[in-house]
Amino acid sequence: MVGRTGITGSALSRRGFLTGAAGGVALGTMALAGCAAPGGAASGGATTIRFYEQKQEVIAYFDKLLRRFERENTGVRVVHDSTTAIAPQFVRGQPSDVGCFNDNLELARYVERGVLRDLSSLPSADRIRPSIRTLGEQYATYQGQTSVLPYSLAAAGVIYNKRIFAEHDLPVPTTWNEFVDVCTALQKDGVTPIYATDRDTWTLWQGLFDYSVGSLVEPGAFFRKMKTIGADVGPDSEVSFEKTLAVPMERAKRISTFFNPDHATRSYADGNLAFGQGKAAMYLQGPWALGQIALIDDKLEVGTFALPVTNDPADRKARVNIDLGLWIPTASGNVERAEELVEFLMQPEVLDAYNRDNLAYSTTKDAPPQSDERLAGLQSYVDDAAFYQGAGTFIPTSIPLGNYLQSAIRSGDFTSMLQRLDADWRRLAGRSATV
């Protein structure tokens, strides 16, 4: 893993502190325009462009697409760049000609500084669903531009073991009370209701924290207000972690009582293995875990549902994130070829196949539904834009949310965690205001 007012120009002090805090020192020296062109003529007169792709697990997939693009476009050679960091490229003034990256706080640093080209004139830009375009704008915008074309939407919820639910005659819960009843019944029958993996802290904020917040508090609106308040966030401000997220964290605290007893020492890999072996009824994970689970038991019948945290079924929403977005830096020396590559990747036959094969959802108005039955329970939420971007994705990495969640789960004191988050927010906002 829902609009936000753009952060531009002089608004970068307090309102933009989040993305600045995530960026580190390197961005301070980043060239904003007119950088040296990274591309050029290759041997034999071919034009070379560089394509940066972030997700290690789909490097081979994209490499095949790039080779196809080369075959269909004589005189073009594409270098597939899969290094782990993009900041050094911008600092050197040599970013790749086309980027394919998570649309998140890190990418927002480049959006709000205006170093990505406006792609609104491309034919594919008109095909993006407005509700999905708005997701990326929650992090940052620049002068009304379309800086990033959302490419892949990942939707996450509660993965559940259909066999265990059937054996215990349990329904898929649609309200908070039903969810608690299901967990209580499983626990009474000696079945672990939820497998948790606290050792990898990202799994706590992606699952427990984000799911508990998203259907009770709209994260985009909440963090927009938090940025405006900045260093004045506290118990008496309009919104704060302590005040606004109190009820969601009551839910999180209750959910944590249904975890496997050894959750503190279990890792993500342990969770995939255990769930694949049928050792728990539910797993708070996204589609990225499904492939790993299938390696353990490819015949295991699983489904996914949106976690209900209120007693009104209509309040249920799915957690989503723009798993990949396409962009072209202003420093590209091969804009025409870069745009051709973007349009190639945005073709329905290419875009839809990628998302089908990688258990995600295409971002365009004419996109087909995700055909994998394991994700069928989330399709209606994507269709109806009943989704939210995870609250944890709005919190800079300099605030150790996952570690705070570890402590709160072990102590049962979620209130102190929220107070600490408010204190960290004030600290970062105050530091940014002095820059």
pLDDT of residue 44: 55
Supply the pTM of this predicted model: 0.87
Mean pLDDT of 206-234: 97
Q: What angle do CA 391, 394, 396 make, to 5 degrees?
A: 130
CA dist., res. 280 & res. 187, Å (int) = 10
Query: What pLDDT was estimated at residue 19?
Result: 38
Q: What letter represents residue 38's amino acid?
A: P
Sequence-distant (6+) residues with CB within 8 A of 374 are 159, 287, 290, 302, 303, 304, 359
Q: Could you say which DSSP state residue 364 is in? A: B
| pLDDT recorded at residue 8 | 32
User: pLDDT value at position 56?
Assistant: 87
Closest of 262, 307, 299, 298 to residue 280, by C-alpha: 262
Mean pLDDT to the nearest integer, 165-190: 98
pLDDT at 22 over 50: no
Q: Which residue has the higher pLDDT, 394 or 15?
A: 394
158-318+398-426: CATH topology is D-Maltodextrin-Binding Protein; domain 2 (3.40.190)
pLDDT tens column, 72-115: 999 999 999 887 678 888 888 889 999 999 889 999 999 999 99
Each residue's pLDDT tens digit, 266-309:
999 999 999 999 999 999 999 999 999 999 999 999 999 999 99
Residue 24, pLDDT above cutoff 60: no
Nearest residue to 434 (alpha-carbon basis) of 8, 17, 9, 6: 17
Task: Give the least confident one: 86-90, 214-218, 234-238, 351-355.
Answer: 86-90
Mean pLDDT estimate for the chain? 89
Range list for CATH 3.40.190.10 in the chain: 9-154+320-392, 158-318+398-426
- Sequential DSSP letters for 411-425: H--HHHHHHHHHHHH
The token pair at 105 is 């706080």
**10 Å Cβ neighbour count for 420?**
18
The helix or strand, by DSSP H or E, that contains position 341, with its residue range, turns out to be helix 335-345
Looking at residue 408, its amino acid is A
Kindly report the backbone phi and psi dihedral angles of residue 387, in degrees, each rounded to the nearest multiple of 5, phi listed first: -145, 170
The pLDDT of residue 9 is above 60: no
Whether residue 145 has pLDDT greater than 70: yes
Q: Is the dihedral of CA 338, 339, 340, 345 positive or negative?
A: positive
Exposure letters 163-200 (e unless 16+ CB within 10 A, then b): ebbeeeebebbbbbebbbebbeebeeeebbbbbbbbbe
For position 31, what pLDDT does the model report? Answer: 35
Q: Is the pLDDT of residue 182 over 50?
A: yes
State the pLDDT at residue 40.
53
Q: What is the mean pLDDT of residues 55-83?
A: 93
Instruction: pLDDT band for 230, please (50, 70, 90 cuts).
Output: very high
Q: Is 406 helix (H, G, I), strand (E, B) or coil?
A: helix
Backbone angles phi, psi at 412, to 5 degrees: 80, 5
Neighbours of 44 (CB within 10 A): 7
Report pLDDT digits (tens) over 328-349: 999 999 999 999 999 999 999 9
pLDDT over 80 (residue 15):
no
Residue burial 277-315, b: 16+ Cβ < 10 Å; e: rest:
eeebbbbbbbbbbbebbeeeeeebebbbbbbbbeeeeeb
Give 380's pLDDT tier (boundaries 50, 70, 90).
very high
CA distances to 158, 197, 314, 411 from 274, rounded to whole Å, are 15, 10, 32, 25
Average pLDDT value for residue range 353-370: 96
The whole-number pLDDT of residue 33 equals 35
- Cα distance between residue 223 and residue 259, in whole Å: 29
Say what the pLDDT of residue 2 is: 31
- 9-154+320-392 has CATH 3.40.190.10 classification: yes
pLDDT at 88: 85
Strand partners, 79: 50
**% of the chain with per-residue pLDDT over 90:** 82
Q: 9: alpha, beta or left, given left = phi > 0 and alpha = psi -120 to 50?
A: left
Distance CA 407, CA 391 (A): 19
pLDDT (tens digit per residue) in 32-56: 333 334 445 444 578 999 999 988 8
